[in-house]
Amino acid sequence: MLEFVTLTSLIFVVLVIWYWLWECSSFVRQIDRIPGPPKVPFFGNVFGIPRDGSEFLQTLHVKWVEQYGRIYRTWRGGTAIVAISSPQYVERILTSQKNIDKSSYYAIMEPWLGNGLLLSSGDKWKKDRRLLTPAFHFQILGDFFEVFHRNADILVEKIINRLTDSEEIDIFPMMSRCTLDIISEAAMGIKVNTQTESDSEYIKSIDRVQEMTRGRFYSVLGLLPDWIYFSLTPSGRELGKHIQTLHSFTMKVLRDRKQQIENAKTDDDSFDDSDESKMSTRKRKPFLDLLLETAQRGTELSESDILSQVDTFMFAGHDTTSVALTWFLYCMATHPEEQERVYEELLECFGDDSDRHCALEDLPNLKYLECCMKESIRLYPSVANFRRQISEQVQLGDYTLPVGASVSIQVYALHRNEEFFPDPLSFKPERFQKEQSIGRHPFAFIPFSAGPRNCIGQKYAVYEEKAILIALLRKFRFSIDKCHLPVKETHGIIMKPAGGMPLLITLR
């Protein structure tokens, strides 16, 4: 017994000394000069950060910004996270060529997304980004419109069929299926038909994986290494099961596409064409083919590398767009005058030709639609925050961020900064008209991030959204029953509407 007490006391003393030395280190002193919520020894702020996605957003993006300012720090165990939401600070971080790697937050996504473009660092990221950029070439994107239109038509059809039962429809799952079908076909070359076929396990699992990944990051369990978390905890086992579902889905996509290419080879040898300069003049080419071609040319690219990219693009290119569409329709439903103005602009553009799909050339004529899209994603950014790892010390105002700190760019809080968007909580599309945008700080509005590591799919996403929204707004009028107001945001990795988005829909 005496030995046990002695040993426990000894461990306690060692831990206290270790903690005291850590507290006195220049890293901790530099971080703790930045204001932030009080921390608990060893655990930091993990207990003070709400698990619930809506409260999480309100606490980190509203309450603590009001309390501590547009730069504040939190601790996750021994990891320092500096949250910033002023454009000047954001510009310093996002324009850096050095501080472009992702923070430890993203390590928690690795069992799911592997070392794909979103998570990779250093030379691997540079090489992959160079390889994948041609797939998003402006001229190639024009060829994707056919896929956007076909899937938007299916969506319109589905809504019309549902209207016979009820005018109120939760549009969020419908958007999710539509964008999943589009990304699978446009980027992977495979039709998965989740709009027309029954419940998609993939969609259910992707929701759960996001929710659980965010929950894990800010819980004590998140401090456990992967091998303990996934094998010994019930939540780890559940998360592992959902990740497995996602991987099986993307593996099937990869295998199916390989098979298609094999079959096509006998008729057409274009797959062997390695001249990338011809990309822009060829018909649309799924980005997955680029990876398969590269692997075939003998470059080091294993099946698991390709799978990580497929997982990454399926995630990054599907949910981000479906929530942007969903929040946009919410803004229209709650702002009938603005909705009518968009409709009038569409009538002016398309006239009586109600069946004509939009083309790339129509888009410059739809300026008010674009202002509404920007205003909606300002208020409801699909990615409410993202992070960078500090690998070269940086000065933000009075504070020095040492190497090893993590920076969280708080897009939600940044977009609601009164200094740049007066009356920030109101939906005012005019803010984005040319005259009103002049002089606004270029980093005050960054829904797709900015700088060298911005969203590679930005143009693709905007075209896709426009094609879908134009089809919907020409056909339907959207409103919302007041009993649902306001629809709250919930933060997983993507910012979704808590409890779906039930809208009242009528035919025009």
Residue 349 counted as an annotated binding residue: no
501 neighbors 357 (Cβ within 8 angstroms): no
Contacts of 157 (CB under 8 A, 6+ apart): none
Interface with ligand HEM in residues 438-477 (CB under 6 A): 447-449, 453, 455-457, 460-461
**Strands 406-410 and 79-84, how do they pair?**
parallel
Q: What does the DSSP 8-state code read for residue 357? A: P
Q: Binders of ligand HEM among 322-341, rule CB under 6 A?
A: 324
Between 350 and 460, name the residue whose CB sits nearer to ligand HEM.
460
Among 205, 213, 321, 339, binds ligand HEM (CB under 6 A): 321
Whichever of 74 and 382 has its CB closer to ligand HEM, that residue is 382
Find the part of the chain contacting ligand HEM (CB under 6 A) among 224-232, 318-326, 333-341, 351-359. 318-326
Q: Is the distance from CB of 402 to CB of 27 less than 8 angstroms?
A: yes
Q: Which of residues 177-206 bind ligand HEM (CB under 6 A)?
A: 187
In 3D space, the residue among 445, 208, 206 whose CA is nearest the CA of residue 318 turns out to be 206
Q: Which of 59, 104, 129, 367 binds ligand HEM (CB under 6 A)?
A: 129
Rule CB under 6 A: is residue 314 a binding residue for ligand HEM?
no
- Would you give the binding string for ligand HEM spanning residues 368-387, x where CB under 6 A is met? --------------xx--x-
Alpha-carbon torsion (248, 127, 143, 370), positive or negative: positive
* Structure tokens given for 100: 């472009």
Any idea which residue has 């109600």 for tokens? 354
Q: Which of 363, 497, 366 is nearest to 429 (CA)?
A: 366
Q: Is 501 in the site for ligand HEM (CB under 6 A)?
A: no
| Least distance between ligand HEM and beta carbon 495 (Å) | 9
Which DSSP category does 40 fall into? B
User: Helix, strand or coil for residue 505?
Assistant: strand
What contacts 158, CB < 8 A, 6 or more positions away? 174, 195
Number of residues that bind ligand HEM (CB under 6 A): 23
Q: Which is nearer to ligand HEM, 148 or 313 (CB)?
A: 313
Two tokens, residue 422:
């007066």
Q: Which residue of 317, 429, 492, 502 would you call a contact of ligand HEM, by CB under 6 A?
A: 317
Which residues are known binding-site members?
455
Q: Catalog residues that contact ligand HEM under the rule CB under 6 A.
A: 117-118, 129, 187, 312-313, 316-317, 320-321, 324, 382-383, 386, 447-449, 453, 455-457, 460-461
Which residues are known binding-site members for heme?
455
